[in-house]
Structure 1
Amino acid sequence: MRRLLIWTTATALVVATVAGVVGYVLFTRPHGDVLGKADAIVVLGGDQDGRIDYGLQLARQGYADTVVIADSYPADYPVIRRACASSTARIEVVCFVPDPWSTLGEAMFASRMARERGWQHLIVVSWNFHMVRARYIFEKCFDGELTMRPTPRDYDYDIFYWGYVYAYQYAALLKAATLPC
């Protein structure tokens, strides 16, 4: 019985260590690409972490003249309402509700718009720890060039929240591997 307990504990420690190291590489280390001119900027839904303003800022800096924003926010969230009403003579803002309500739904919508408008290059904005999975899903749905850009911010999470983030991203990545675009 003691031998089984030692073996189980050692195995759990090895699995946790490997999952932590691989998780660090996949979800914590930066995975952003170098910015360049694109046809559109796609801002993925999620945390209220400044990503909408960052996507609009990239457009104002001239990286694209269309910003496509996934509206997965509460109806009374002022940032999304302001952003969706912020088209100008130079920058078009398109807001949409993803269907399905996931990264896959966002990639499907952006890919459909790209086909309709002849877009060949998209900048995709999200969390840093979402970059690997978002790239994987967008590459399944979009044939053109992708530039992945994490929202510039610090992720000052404790170890328990990082454990949740890693577990969620691992599970979502496995799910993404089973779904077609």
Structure 2
Amino acid sequence: MPEPKTSRRRRRLKAALATIVVVAIAFSVTGYRLFTVDHSDRLRHVDAIVVLGGDHDGREFYGLNLARQGYASTVLISDPYHPRNDSDTEVMTAACSTRITGVTVRCFIPDPETTRGEAMYVKTLATQYHWRSLMVISWRYHLVRARYVFGQCFSGELVMRAVPRTYSTLPPVVAFTYAYQFAGLAKAAVLGC
């Protein structure tokens, strides 16, 4: 006897819902392991500190303070904020005009204005100055992707450091951040350096 249409629909609906739940759980668990867990490396001396663009969450001055403590004699600060608002101008002017004895502070506009553009710019300088090690500073959710992108462009040692700050735990914010970082990883895999 043939199965009633409503019973078949119900089974398909249950299968679809189960698939959605499994995908959501896999997305959440993988996102948590890759982006929420801090993947910072131990602090150590490097040839240059690279501060990636992003929120003005203290990253610029964290990088400068690490140089002040002797972790590097060069600090590169990405400045992808164009057009700038007053807050961007204030932070970047203060960071880029910082003077530290024995430390070169250099701000740059990446092209393209992405992590890949930052890595390509740094690759050029690393070749020019024979750098063998870099410390890359960004926010915690970005470290895995930044390591992947910089690893495509730079063959030396990478030390990744998350900005010491608090992070939103609101589920919609976290879900968006995970999706953005997954998409960025896929894009990096396709584009390379």
- Given the two structures, how large is their TM-score scaled by the length of structure 1? 0.97
Residue 70 of structure 2 is aligned with which of 62, 65, 77? 62
**What is the root-mean-square deviation of aligned Cα atoms in Å?**
1.0
Residue 53 of structure 2 is aligned with which of 45, 55, 63? 45
Q: Secondary structure at the match of 1:174?
A: helix
Look up the match of 1:85.
Answer: 97
* Residues in 2 aligned to 1:150 and 1:105: alpha-carbon distance in whole angstroms: 20
Unaligned runs of 5+ in 1: none
Letter in 1 for 2:103: I
Q: CA deviation at 1:85?
A: 1.1
Matched, 1:142 2:150: no
* Residues in 2 aligned to 1:85 and 1:3: alpha-carbon distance in whole angstroms: 65
- Given the two structures, how large is their TM-score scaled by the length of structure 2? 0.91
Residue 29 of structure 2 is aligned with which of 9, 21, 39? 21
Residue 118 of structure 2 is aligned with which of 95, 100, 106? 106
Q: What is the aligned residue count? A: 181
Moved over 3 A (4+): none
Q: Secondary structure at the match of 1:149?
A: strand
TM-superposition CA deviations, 1:16-63 (whole Å, max 9, x none)? 000100000000001000011111100000111110010001001100
Identity %: 51
* Residues in 2 aligned to 1:172 and 1:119: alpha-carbon distance in whole angstroms: 26
* Residues in 1 aligned to 2:177 and 2:117: alpha-carbon distance in whole angstroms: 21
Q: Secondary structure at the match of 2:76?
A: strand
Q: Secondary structure at the match of 2:31?
A: helix
Q: CA deviation at 1:75?
A: 5.6
* Residues in 1 aligned to 2:61 and 2:24: alpha-carbon distance in whole angstroms: 36
Residue 118 of structure 1 is aligned with which of 107, 110, 130? 130
Structure exhibiting the larger radius of gyration computed from Cα positions: 2
* Residues in 2 aligned to 1:116 and 1:158: alpha-carbon distance in whole angstroms: 44
